[in-house]
């Protein structure tokens, strides 16, 4: 398969001349079978096999009860005319495009503040990181539902004396945030932004990699904070920004638990929190429409792959790898 055409002569099985080379090869080969065996079984049965199977299933009509019947591109055609799917795509896209940049901007801003030799850094870092660890849990999704509920914490705060006046001037009134189609998605965006701690920690690690001598040289030249940030920090940090961007985007496209719990599994008021994965779950495991769910999964894979590819292509123009 991957063997080069003009490979050096393969060691003959019975040849004795270089005794060490073939012997270690053979021994390692057998050991590799032992050590890599479980992984290989998993790859075939749990990962690669199912990828291939879902591609095949996406061209079938299959409800688990009878055997799958081949229907060609019909599932994909159905996707073109499925308003709920389009709405799910739109919801997910808005969520990704709004929440990920906000999350990364907040992460970078706080990393910059914390990087300037603030005392108690480990304490702050841990406090800000905590939500990242909890964010995807059902308990937090439930908490969010209650915080943004009609009687929830947000509305309680909005009725406090001074805050209610300020909020009133800004046009913010207490309402059922998670039960209102215009706001429900925003509450989930807030939830994702709230988990900015993990990209922040990665930013902090990246900031520490920047050689101090650059800043010292800039200080000698009398560069302002803004200049130093724009000319040194930001360019040298672009690989980390890129890493975080790709990672958080891929994660955000797959958001499920929060949307499921906050909307009670339905997708929320007027499908306003019907995320792509939630709709996939409904089709596949609610209606046992396995063929359609498989087609949806492949489209998701293509979308995520597409966004990642665009990221990598665009990276050429803004990510700076300091090799000069």
Q: Enumerate residues 99-158 that contact another protein by CB under 8 A.
A: 110, 113-114, 118-120, 122, 124-134, 136-140, 142-147, 151-153, 156-157
Please, what is the minimum distance in Å from the beta carbon of residue 17 to another protein? Answer: 19
Which one among 187, 198, 272, 282 touches another protein, defined by CB under 8 A?
198
How far is the C-alpha of 110 from the C-alpha of 315, rounded, in Å? 24
Q: Is 307 a residue that touches another protein (CB under 8 A)?
A: no
Nearer to another protein by Cβ, of 62 and 185: the residue is: 62
Q: Which of residues 284-303 bind another protein (CB under 8 A)?
A: 284-285, 290, 293-294, 296-298, 300-301
Please, what is the minimum distance in Å from the beta carbon of residue 29 to another protein? Answer: 5
Q: Is 183 a residue that touches another protein (CB under 8 A)?
A: no
Q: Is 22 a residue that touches another protein (CB under 8 A)?
A: no
Nearer to another protein by Cβ, of 123 and 217: the residue is: 123
Please, what is the minimum distance in Å from the beta carbon of residue 172 to another protein? Answer: 16
247: CB partners within 8 A, 6+ apart: 199
Q: Mask: binding to another protein, 257-276, rule CB under 8 A, as x and -?
A: x--xx--x------------
Q: Which of residues 38-67 bind another protein (CB under 8 A)?
A: 38-43, 45-51, 53-54, 57, 64
**C-beta contacts of 108-117 below 8 A and 24+ residues apart:** 108/199, 108/200, 108/203, 108/237, 108/241, 110/196, 110/200, 111/200, 111/203, 111/204, 111/207, 112/207, 112/229, 112/233, 114/200, 114/204, 115/204, 115/207, 115/208
274, 90 contact by CB (below 8 A):
no
How far is the C-alpha of 56 from the C-alpha of 76, rounded, in Å? 13
Closest CA to 210 of 240, 181, 182, 184: 240
How far is the C-alpha of 217 from the C-alpha of 223, rounded, in Å? 9
Please, what is the minimum distance in Å from the beta carbon of residue 247 to another protein? Answer: 7
Please, what is the minimum distance in Å from the beta carbon of residue 238 to another protein? Answer: 16
Please, what is the minimum distance in Å from the beta carbon of residue 86 to another protein? Answer: 18
Nearer to another protein by Cβ, of 130 and 314: the residue is: 130
Number of residues that bind another protein (CB under 8 A): 96
Please, what is the minimum distance in Å from the beta carbon of residue 117 to another protein? Answer: 10
Quote the tokens at residue 313: 């292509």
User: Do β-strands 60-61 and 69-70 pair in parallel, antiparallel, or remain unpaired?
Assistant: antiparallel
Nearer to another protein by Cβ, of 73 and 134: the residue is: 134
Quote the tokens at residue 242: 């890129």
User: Helices H, strands E: what count in the chain?
Assistant: 16, 2
Q: Which of residues 208-247 bind another protein (CB under 8 A)?
A: 243, 247
- State whether the Cα torsion 190-195-199-201 is positive or negative: positive
How far is the C-alpha of 121 from the C-alpha of 138, rounded, in Å? 30
């Amino acid at each position: 398969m991957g063997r080069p055409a003009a490979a050096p002569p393969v060691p003959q099985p019975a040849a004795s001349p270089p005794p060490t080379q073939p012997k270690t090869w053979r021994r390692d080969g057998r050991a590799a079978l032992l050590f890599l065996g479980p992984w290989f079984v998993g790859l075939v049965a749990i990962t690669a096999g199912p990828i291939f199977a879902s591609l095949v299933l996406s061209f079938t009509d299959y409800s688990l009860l009878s055997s799958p019947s081949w229907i060609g591109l019909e599932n994909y055609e159905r996707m073109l005319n499925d308003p709920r799917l389009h709405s799910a795509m739109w919801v997910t896209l808005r969520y990704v495009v709004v929440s990920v940049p906000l999350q990364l901007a907040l992460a970078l801003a706080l990393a910059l503040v914390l990087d300037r030799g603030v005392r108690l850094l480990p304490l702050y870092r841990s406090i800000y990181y905590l939500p990242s660890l909890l964010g995807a849990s059902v308990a937090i999704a439930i908490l969010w539902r209650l915080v943004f509920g009609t009687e929830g914490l947000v509305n309680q705060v909005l009725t406090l004396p001074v805050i209610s006046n300020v909020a009133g001037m800004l046009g913010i009134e207490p309402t059922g945030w998670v039960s209102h189609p215009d706001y429900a998605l925003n509450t989930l965006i807030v939830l994702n932004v709230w988990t900015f701690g993990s990209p922040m920690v990665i930013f902090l690690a990246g900031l520490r990699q920047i050689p101090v001598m650059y800043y010292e040289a800039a200080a000698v030249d009398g560069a302002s904070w803004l200049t130093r940030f724009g000319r040194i920090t930001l360019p040298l940090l672009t690989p980390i920004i890129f890493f975080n961007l790709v990672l958080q985007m891929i994660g955000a496209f797959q958001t499920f638990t929060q949307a499921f719990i906050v909307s009670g599994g339905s997708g929320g008021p007027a499908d306003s929190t019907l995320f792509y994965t939630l709709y996939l779950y409904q089709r596949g495991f609610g209606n046992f429409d396995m063929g359609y769910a498989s087609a949806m999964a492949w489209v998701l894979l293509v979308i995520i792959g597409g966004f990642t590819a665009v990221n990598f292509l665009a990276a050429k123009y803004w990510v700076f790898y300091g090799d000069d």
